[in-house]
Chain A
Amino acid sequence: MSEREICLSGTGVSKVFGFGNRKTVAVDNVDFNFYSGELVSIVGESGSGKTTLIKMLLGLTSVTEGEIQFLGKKRDIRTRSKKKEYWKDIQAIFQDPFSSYNIFSKIDSVLLDCIHMRGGRMLPKAKKIEMMEEACRFVNLKYAEMTNKYPFELSGGQMQRLMIARIFLLRPKILLADEPTSMIDACSRATILDMLLNLRNETGMTIIFITHDMGLAYYISDTVYIMERGKIVEFGSADEVILNPQADYTKRLLSDVPKIHEPWEFSKRNQTPPPQTPVEA
């Protein structure tokens, strides 16, 4: 691989809510470098500042202190039009896919909007439909079944897939995913993680994935950042951080996660080691 390009970075980034003795330092002087095409996880317990960091990256909330650089330059989103420009390159999906949604727009119009946002307004109708069909196929939804439906007619997993179909059409450089699988089953979760990995592999998109789930982070990430009470306490490759953690906080989280191969403190399984996969008699 050639020299890696940094697509999003931050120096001394902080976010403070309130003031005086009501002050909450949600994000506390963090530095980070996210590389193009990388799948990065930011892991921490609830309240550690993950969502706040994501909102700053997205430009939904102001940065109290520090600087965010986008594609090597200081990010400038001070005007409405610059912000709109920025959002062509950076998009997000959230934990509750229904929350970030206009419940009155039908699914096909949601997808059509994405094509329009990418400057495809003048494309012939057949071409637009073809693009929407492709996007639905990518997330294993049937376009024909989506037309004329409202988002609330879909299950949580289908809805989250629709959000990925949106991203597929929008083709941002960076996708921020804030716990997109924490409200759905392990089974649908597997599907969604697969789709995000495919998206990254096919488009080279940078994906920043927020989660509190160490097992999930280990599975999908190239790089893992660990956040504790607003601070980044360690980062590195997934193998480094998960298999050889340095920070006490990471060590504690890892030891508290229920395991299936290694022992876990209050496990019923401690007396008996797990059996080998049975061999044919």
Chain B
Amino acid sequence: MSKIMLEVNGLTTKYITRYNESVYAVNDVSFQVEEGKSVGIAGESGCGKSTLALSLMGYYFPPLHYTKGDIIIDGRNISGMDPDDVRKNILGTEIAYIPQAAMNALNPTRKVIRFIEDVIWAHDPKISKKDIHDLARERFETLNLPEDTLNKYPVELSGGMKQRTVISISTILSPKVLIADEPSSALDVTSQKMVIKMIHDLMELGYIKSMIFITHELPLLYNVTDDIMVMYAGQIVERGSADQMIFDPIHPYSKGLMGSILVPEDGTRDVKITAIPGTPPNLKKPPDGCRFAERCQYVKSQCRVQNMELAGLGNGRTSRCMMSEEELREAYKNE
């Protein structure tokens, strides 16, 4: 078994709103990512994907608060670490994060190279400008980004170029874990493909050692990651290989999610897509028992009281459901 790059145990975080209400957006999340692997996170909007991404940095600012759990990066537990310490010693080198809509958040009055200086100096202020520029030039060259991009302002770049630039800046210190939250969702398909190629290259070249990739676009996720985790109402409800999850989901929520996939491929037009009725629960007061019970067509009375753990199914898969894999398969067969 290869080395574990990221291990998360029982991570629980919440927002505390202005009205002092708690939103339990990440609840008892545990998983591991091995070296060289990428893991995708899928789920409806509002289920906590972005909050999980943010929480994984081990760096919290209001309204987000840490409650409990461990985040272990390459053997080092970063939860409970001092924020300044995290900023200096963790961000960029251990873990890098590309937030949703990052490309529009670049300060428009600064050149690309200035952002790279910032990232590197935050980690080590003693590195010389020349060394930074050499590193940046070399990195841009290996990633097939034009060198003159370094001296451009963000507005001078197209959407796709801007996003690839943001990714190169964020990964300049070769982090062990890259967390990418919807990095290509705002782009046209061709730019999206270029972003994915770049992420692919970063991994091949060893500039990133593992990745968490978040998107609600399942066909994209299928092609980008080794494993897929499905999140619902702040919890992971299932994890399996990309093939297992897309073609053979076990958990009723994953099953519902996969029923909505649309791809322009022969034969797909005749298969009716399905939706999951209802809406996710309010995370200010998540229901007892299974959080999906309300919308699940296989619900039993027990589901509403008994809290299920994410349990192994064998074959490397895990699922959080009262019904066994056999029972669920039987139920799906009779549909």
Q: Which residue of B lies closest to A218 (CB)?
A: B264
Q: Are B265 and A261 in contact (CB under 8 A)?
A: yes
A269 within 8 A of partner (CB): yes
Greatest chain A CB density within 10 A among B200, B224, B225, B262 is at B262
* Residues of A close to B256: CB separation below 8 A: 187
B45 within 8 A of partner (CB): yes
Q: Are A215 and B248 in contact (CB under 8 A)?
A: no
Question: Which one of B246, B260, B274, B276 contacts A260 once the chains associate, using CB atoms below 8 Å?
Answer: B246
* Residues of B close to A268: CB separation below 8 A: 38, 200, 223-226, 242
Count A-B pairs with CB separation below 8 Å: 133
Q: Are B273 and A269 in contact (CB under 8 A)?
A: no
Given contacts A260-B261, A261-B263, whether A187 and B44 have CB atoms under 8 Å apart is: yes
Instruction: Scan residues 227-248 of chain B and give those whose CB is less than 8 A from a CB of chain A.
Output: 242-243, 246-248
B1 within 8 A of partner (CB): no
**A272→B246 CA distance, assembly (Å):** 14
Given contacts A190-B260, A256-B193, A260-B263, whether A274 and B269 have CB atoms under 8 Å apart is: no
Q: Which residue of B lies closest to A212 (CB)?
A: B188
* Residues of B close to A45: CB separation below 8 A: 188-190
B312 within 8 A of partner (CB): no
> What string of 1s and 0s marks CB contacts (under 8 Å) between A245-281 and chain B?
0000000111011111110111111001011011010
**A52→B219 CA distance, assembly (Å):** 29
* Residues of A close to B217: CB separation below 8 A: 186, 258
Q: Which residue of B lies closest to A244 (CB)?
A: B266
Q: Are A266 and B243 in contact (CB under 8 A)?
A: no
Q: Are A262 and B248 in contact (CB under 8 A)?
A: no
What is the minimal beta-carbon distance from B47 to any residue of chain A, in angstroms?
9
**A190→B225 CA distance, assembly (Å):** 24
* Residues of A close to B226: CB separation below 8 A: 268
A239 within 8 A of partner (CB): yes
* Residues of A close to B269: CB separation below 8 A: 218-219, 238-239
What is the minimal beta-carbon distance from A246 to any residue of chain B, in angstroms?
15
Q: Are A215 and B264 in contact (CB under 8 A)?
A: yes
Q: Which residue of A lies closest to B195 (CB)?
A: A266
Question: Which one of B223, B260, B276 contacts A258 once the chains associate, using CB atoms below 8 Å?
Answer: B223
* Residues of B close to A194: CB separation below 8 A: 273, 275
Question: Which one of B243, B265, B274 contacts A190 once the chains associate, using CB atoms below 8 Å?
Answer: B274
**A253→B257 CA distance, assembly (Å):** 25
A216 within 8 A of partner (CB): yes
**A189→B247 CA distance, assembly (Å):** 20
> What string of 1s and 0s marks CB contacts (under 8 Å) between A181-214 and chain B?
0001111111101100000000000000000111
What is the minimal beta-carbon distance from A193 to any residue of chain B, in angstroms?
7
> What string of 1s and 0s marks CB contacts (under 8 Å) between A36-76 and chain B?
00000000011000000000000000000000000000000
Interface size on A, residues (CB 8 A): 49
Q: Which residue of A lies closest to B246 (CB)?
A: A260
What is the minimal beta-carbon distance from B240 to any residue of chain A, in angstroms?
12
Q: Are A256 and B262 in contact (CB under 8 A)?
A: no
Q: Are B216 and A277 in contact (CB under 8 A)?
A: no
Greatest chain A CB density within 10 A among B190, B223, B267 is at B223
Q: Are A187 and B247 in contact (CB under 8 A)?
A: no
* Residues of A close to B31: CB separation below 8 A: none
* Residues of B close to A214: CB separation below 8 A: 189, 264
**A189→B274 CA distance, assembly (Å):** 10
B121 within 8 A of partner (CB): no
Instruction: Scan residues 271-290 of chain B and give those whose CB is less than 8 A from a CB of chain A.
Output: 273-277, 279
B165 within 8 A of partner (CB): no
**A87→B110 CA distance, assembly (Å):** 48
What is the minimal beta-carbon distance from B72 to any residue of chain A, in angstroms?
25
**A10→B50 CA distance, assembly (Å):** 45
Question: Which one of B188, B189, B275 contacts A188 once the chains associate, using CB atoms below 8 Å?
Answer: B275
* Residues of B close to A193: CB separation below 8 A: 273
**A237→B14 CA distance, assembly (Å):** 50
> What string of 1s and 0s marks CB contacts (under 8 Å) between B186-198 and chain A?
0011101100110
**Can you report 14 residue pairs joining A to B where beta carbons are below 8 Å apart?**
A185-B44, A190-B273, A215-B219, A242-B264, A256-B189, A258-B217, A258-B223, A259-B263, A259-B264, A259-B265, A260-B261, A266-B223, A267-B223, A269-B222
Chain A residues within 8 Å of B, Cβ to Cβ? 45-46, 140, 155, 157, 184-191, 193-194, 212-219, 238-239, 242-243, 252-254, 256-262, 264-269, 272, 274-275, 277-278, 280
Known: A186-B262, A269-B222. 4 other contacts (CB 8 A): A190-B273, A243-B266, A259-B264, A277-B248
Chain B residues within 8 Å of A, Cβ to Cβ? 38, 44-45, 188-190, 192-193, 196-197, 200, 216-220, 222-226, 242-243, 246-248, 256-257, 259-269, 273-277, 279, 329
Q: Would you list the 8 A-B pairs with minimal beta carbon distance, nearest first?
A: A215-B262, A190-B275, A267-B223, A214-B264, A256-B189, A45-B188, A258-B219, A191-B275
